[in-house]
Structure 1
Amino acid sequence: MLVETKFLLSNSTNLAVQGESVIAQVWVYLTKQFTFGRITVSVSSLAIGALVLILTIVVSRTGSALLDRRLAKQRHIDPGLRYTIDRLVKYLIVSAGVLLALKQAFAIDLTSIAVLFTALSVGIGFGLQYLAADIASGFILLFERPIRVGDRVTIGEDEGDVQSINLRTTTVFTNNRIAIIVPNSKLVSQRVVNWSYGDPRARISIPISVADDSDVEKVTQVLLEAANGVDLVLVDPAPFVQLLKFGSSSLDFRLLVWTRDPRRHIQIKSDINYRISRLFKEHNIKFPSVKQEVYVRALDYTPYQESEALQEDSTGQAR
């Protein structure tokens, strides 16, 4: 029994020694440094850097969700401002985490990072200037907030609601639920109509032309009646009508109405136009029609003159 106990103790000691030896070899392998130019790395440093990067992603997502829920309870903060704060905090956490991961993985100091950014600036100068402009414009949109998430905007011929403002692009969904990806630099440098910015009211202009022999006062009253019967059209300021000009065969008016829901300006125009068409038929108001006048000029030309011309022509050919 004593011999067996000594044998077991001896085997345990040998296993412990072998385990320590394996751990030591693994540690040596993990901490072995490899040099690439001015950068020195090891397996352990790369693993730590990857771990820091993973933790950064987890912290940024978790922190962003917690911050968003916290800000949602503050009723005085509009959704656009909450979105801006959320994005800036996420970018700050990710930037700090990436720098820390680079430092842990490659032992990069601030001087090396400055050199890296200098090299990137050279690359930007040669071909990445558009990307840099989009990113810079993204920060401008987040800080100045001329366009916010949820705003109704018109960009060129496209109109829709802003779904998200990312670092490089902004996503806009049209009424047909088609996603339009717009570079941020385009939103900063070009003309954009924001129907939700500033005053919640918006004025809608509806041009209309009638026949040139129409009664101006009657047309004005009918247009006002058409506007006052449409939902979402404000009573104050009241709709009003302007006579813009006298066309060649028409009288050109403009109906101006106000609404607190500019997102639906297309539908409001459609509803008013339907009412205008119906009321014009009821009051016998005609739309202009194109008039063309054709003048026929009579020529003093006799058959005798025609026969003489033919004879002269045949005589000339005979000669």
Structure 2
Amino acid sequence: MMSYIACRIAVVITVAMLANSTAGAVTSNPDSPELALEQAAVVVDGATLFLVRSPLGFPASERAAGIAKRIEAAARDRSIDPAFVRTGTVAGMTAIFAGPARIMAVSDADAQAAETTVEAFARAAGDRVRSAIIDYRVARTPERVRHAMLLASTATLLFLVAAAISVWLTIRLRRGVEHILHPRVQTLGFQSFAIVRAEQIRAVLSGILKFLGLLVLLALTFAWMVYVLDLFPWTIGVGNALLQHVVTPLTTIGRDFLAAIPNLIFLTILYFIFRSALRIVRLFFDAVEQGKVKLQHFEPEWAMPTYKIVRLAMIAFALVIAYPYVPGSSSAAFKGVSLFLGVVFSLGSSGAISNIIAGYMMTYRRAFRVGDRVKIGEVTGDITAMRLQVSHLRTTKHEEVVIPNSQIINSSVINYTTLARKDGLLLHTSIQIGYNTPWRQVEAMLLEAASHTKGLVAPPEPFVLQTKLGDCSIIYELNVGCDDPQRMHELYSVLHRNILDVFNDYGVSIVTPAYEEDPETPKVVPREKWFSPPAMADHEDQATSPQPGQPVPSNRGAA
């Protein structure tokens, strides 16, 4: 039975390939009206006799079905002798007759499709009609029907035995696999996290075995049905249709796969070429990043971002080359899906793309590096990671802040580290002291507080600026040097503590005065208190001390 089914499948595949080749020949020259006609097969009891064409505007399938019906009618008419199937001429056209009944008229298009003459096509078609009539009658004789029933019964019995054996083997195989493999199956996971549990793996293995057993049972059922249906002339058409519904898709898949093999070979070669090229490019940029290869006006930290851009360009170029060779790329469905995915990507990735572009802009502009102390907006912290879409900061409170790169590129960035490596960073703090405290004393106390603060660097030497003469007080700004921006907050705290201690030592209150009315006496510093400790007057200060009513000279500057 299985060998019979194999033969039937071979016949169906041959007929399908013949029909496809014929269809290709029909459409090879669309400028010729004759070659533009469609073809259809004349089928009697599942056997294809010949192919016919039809005039334009009339379906060939209807003409072929009509011819088949007339052949079957002639076969059922016992008064018609198959020996009297002949060719003749009617209205100037060659026709095939079975007794007095006309079976078909042969056209020039029929002969052209068979690449022969009208007379030769008519003789060959007549012979096949004669054989079809004989076979039709023989297949319906009582002896043939009884023989078919015997074969069908035997095939049914064999099918039941084979199905029972298949089910038994499937059960035994499943039990054997469960006995051997199930104890060895373990949960797949990472540390304590289970990705796939052992029970799930066992269930999948059991499901696969059940599916294979069901597939074998379906194959046996299909073979039995086709074989039994082909035994009887009344059901042979159903058997052929069932066989075609299964074989035709498989044939199409196989044919398309064979046709796609050259393209798949090309895509495989292209993949390995571009993969090797990417590896070479990666090795080059790794050498640049490590300093083994130096490029003029190219910073080592640019190596990996540049490599990612080059890799993206190479992948895009490879996809452009590979696209025409991808199986199904020319189909409307493939183009529709590609267009849909493109629209979805363009609508949903606008923010991501802007962040990526901003990330590259920051990299090449060298706004900051990993480890720099920066202030972005209201956030101050150290850069811990620079990614394509976001940058990570760790604040002084050990908080991680993730900022989109597009937001960074559109805001001001203060980098405390860039110039601190070479010139040092100036820390500055301000206090407000009333006009009744000598400014020389205030500056001297601020400088003394700076000298007590450990961790400052020089140059520059600490200096004081009077930034504003306010309504009620003077604003003093103390500036000191620092070469470690990561300690700036700690140094600020120590500096403020020292300022408080120094001012307390000298009895100067850090209180900003506020007036509700003019004081009775002017808030001025007497001349004898201009150099109150810790301020010290040098010889030049004493020589140039102003007399009452004269302007006060000053050469101390920022002291």
Give the TM-score category using the shorter length. 0.5 to 0.7
Tell me which residue corresponds to 2:50: none
Asked whether the 8 Å contact 1:209–1:288 carries over to 2, the reply is yes
1:179 aligns with 2:400: yes
Tell me which residue corresponds to 1:246: 469
Tell me which residue corresponds to 1:275: 498
Given residue 414 of structure 2, which amino acid in structure 1 is its aligned partner?
V
Displacement, 1:246?
A: 3.4
Displacement, 1:156?
A: 1.3
Displacement, 1:208?
A: 1.0
Tell me which residue corresponds to 1:190: 411
TM-score (norm 1): 0.61
Given residue 96 of structure 1, which amino acid in structure 2 is its aligned partner?
M
- State how far apart, in whole Å, the 2-side matches of 1:100 and 1:188 are: 32
Asked whether the 8 Å contact 1:52–1:97 carries over to 2, the reply is no
Q: 2:489 aligns with which of 245, 266, 277?
A: 266
Displacement, 1:234?
A: 2.4
- State how far apart, in whole Å, the 2-side matches of 1:162 and 1:290 are: 42
1:1-319 aligned within 5 A: 32=256, 68=286, 71-72=289-290, 81-93=299-311, 95-97=313-315, 100=318, 104=322, 107=325, 124=346, 128-198=349-419, 200=421, 201-289=424-512, 291=514, 293=516
Displacement, 1:191?
A: 0.6
After superposition, the Cα gap between the structure-2 partners of 1:105 and 1:76, relative to the gap in structure 1 and judged at 3 Å, is closer
Tell me which residue corresponds to 2:173: none
Displacement, 1:170?
A: 1.7
- Secondary structure (helix, strand or coil) at the match of 1:235 reads coil
- Secondary structure (helix, strand or coil) at the match of 2:508 reads coil
Displacement, 1:73?
A: 5.8
- State how far apart, in whole Å, the 2-side matches of 1:289 and 1:180 are: 37
- State how far apart, in whole Å, the 1-side matches of 2:287 and 2:369 are: 19
- Deviations 1:272-310 (Å, cap 9, x if unpaired)? 101001111101110115546499xxxxxxxxxxxxxxx
Displacement, 1:253?
A: 0.7
Identity in percent: 20
Displacement, 1:243?
A: 1.9
- State how far apart, in whole Å, the 1-side matches of 2:398 and 2:323 are: 44
After superposition, the Cα gap between the structure-2 partners of 1:289 and 1:138, relative to the gap in structure 1 and judged at 3 Å, is closer
- State how far apart, in whole Å, the 2-side matches of 1:259 and 1:292 are: 38
- State how far apart, in whole Å, the 2-side matches of 1:30 and 1:286 are: 96
Asked whether the 8 Å contact 1:226–1:276 carries over to 2, the reply is yes
Displacement, 1:155?
A: 0.6
Asked whether the 8 Å contact 2:416–2:485 carries over to 1, the reply is yes
Asked whether the 8 Å contact 1:64–1:90 carries over to 2, the reply is no
After superposition, the Cα gap between the structure-2 partners of 1:103 and 1:250, relative to the gap in structure 1 and judged at 3 Å, is same
Displacement, 1:199?
A: 5.5
After superposition, the Cα gap between the structure-2 partners of 1:193 and 1:289, relative to the gap in structure 1 and judged at 3 Å, is closer
- Secondary structure (helix, strand or coil) at the match of 1:242 reads strand
- Secondary structure (helix, strand or coil) at the match of 1:266 reads helix
Asked whether the 8 Å contact 1:203–1:259 carries over to 2, the reply is yes
Displacement, 1:203?
A: 1.7
- Deviations 1:188-238 (Å, cap 9, x if unpaired)? 221110112246322222111224321211111110111122233222221
After superposition, the Cα gap between the structure-2 partners of 1:195 and 1:120, relative to the gap in structure 1 and judged at 3 Å, is farther
Displacement, 1:266?
A: 1.8
Displacement, 1:70?
A: 7.2
Displacement, 1:68?
A: 4.6
Asked whether the 8 Å contact 1:249–1:288 carries over to 2, the reply is no
- Secondary structure (helix, strand or coil) at the match of 2:380 reads strand
Tell me which residue corresponds to 1:315: none
The alignment covers a number of residue pairs equal to: 249
Asked whether the 8 Å contact 1:164–1:171 carries over to 2, the reply is yes
Query: RMSD of the alignment, in Å?
Result: 4.4
Q: Which has the higher contact order (CA 8 A, sep 6+)?
A: 1
Tell me which residue corresponds to 1:307: none
- Deviations 1:32-84 (Å, cap 9, x if unpaired)? 45xxxxxx989x95xx78x959x96xx77x9869955774365999xx94332
After superposition, the Cα gap between the structure-2 partners of 1:210 and 1:74, relative to the gap in structure 1 and judged at 3 Å, is farther
Tell me which residue corresponds to 1:299: none
Structure 1, unaligned runs of 5 or more: 1-25, 34-39, 296-319
Structure 2, unaligned runs of 5 or more: 1-249, 519-559
Asked whether the 8 Å contact 1:227–1:239 carries over to 2, the reply is yes
- Secondary structure (helix, strand or coil) at the match of 2:398 reads coil
Displacement, 1:166?
A: 1.9
Asked whether the 8 Å contact 1:68–1:82 carries over to 2, the reply is no
Asked whether the 8 Å contact 1:233–1:259 carries over to 2, the reply is yes
Asked whether the 8 Å contact 2:289–2:301 carries over to 1, the reply is no
Tell me which residue corresponds to 1:8: none
Asked whether the 8 Å contact 1:226–1:279 carries over to 2, the reply is yes
Given residue 88 of structure 1, which amino acid in structure 2 is its aligned partner?
T
